[in-house]
Amino acid sequence: MTKDRGGSGMSVSTLQDRIDEAGDPLAMLRNAPSGPYQFPIKAEFTNWRDEQEAWRQGAVLFDQSFHMTDLYIEGPDTRRLCELLAVNSMSNWRRDIAKQFVHCTENGYVVGDAIIFILEEQKANVVNKPMNANWVMYHAEKHGFDVDFDLDSRALDNNGRRKGYRFEVQGPNAWGILERLNGGPIE
């Protein structure tokens, strides 16, 4: 199907046409018009002011289980793959930590960011929008890294059950609530 891209006057009918028009694949993806992010879960707060007040004066519980894609990476090259793509250091790679994972091109241009959970020495979970998972998987294949992937797509793209569930407690009373639920201090 041929389509005019935003009045450019150029009709494109294939992916290669779009890449050629943009100059390269990265420029095409980076400058692609994307509509507003479709959040797949209905909001469950009374109003914006109540939510903001809870953040500042109490605590809020976020269910972050359904709106992001999880990419589980496992294999001897898991850390090396993440170090290749990240602009930030992975030097403190160890089990049971989470880090921001800012990934970039070979020329240092930022592609996106995600949260990476280090599950074991050779296993991690990269969480964010679907394009982040695609970027990581592409580079693993391109560079021949010895890793396997288990893609758990966000709820919009996944008719099955999620592999894992994630909750966040945030606000000035959050730590106290977690320690109370834990029955004592959390270390």
Give the CATH number for residue 84. Answer: 3.30.70.1400
How many structural domains does the chain have? 3
d(CA 80, CA 31): 29
Please check whether residue 151 is in contact with residue 71, taking contact to mean a CB–CB distance below 8 angstroms: yes
CA end-to-end span of the chain: 58
Per-residue pLDDT of the chain (187 residues; tens, 9 = 90+): 333 333 444 454 677 888 888 888 888 777 776 655 555 666 666 777 887 888 899 998 888 877 788 999 999 999 999 999 998 888 899 999 999 999 888 887 888 889 999 999 999 999 988 888 999 999 999 999 999 999 988 777 777 788 888 888 999 999 999 999 999 998 7
Model pTM score: 0.68
Kindly state whether residues 5 and 95 are assigned to the same domain.
no
For the chain, counts of helices (H) and of strands (E): 6, 9
The verdict on 69 and 160 lying in the same domain is yes
Residues 48 and 83 both lie in one domain: no
SS3 of residue 158 by DSSP: coil
Q: 86: closest CA among 100, 96, 73?
A: 100
d(CA 62, CA 171): 11
Q: Are residues 81 and 139 in the same domain?
A: yes
Examine the domain organization and report whether 43 and 103 are in the same domain.
no
Q: Which range of residues forms the domain containing residue 17? A: 1-33
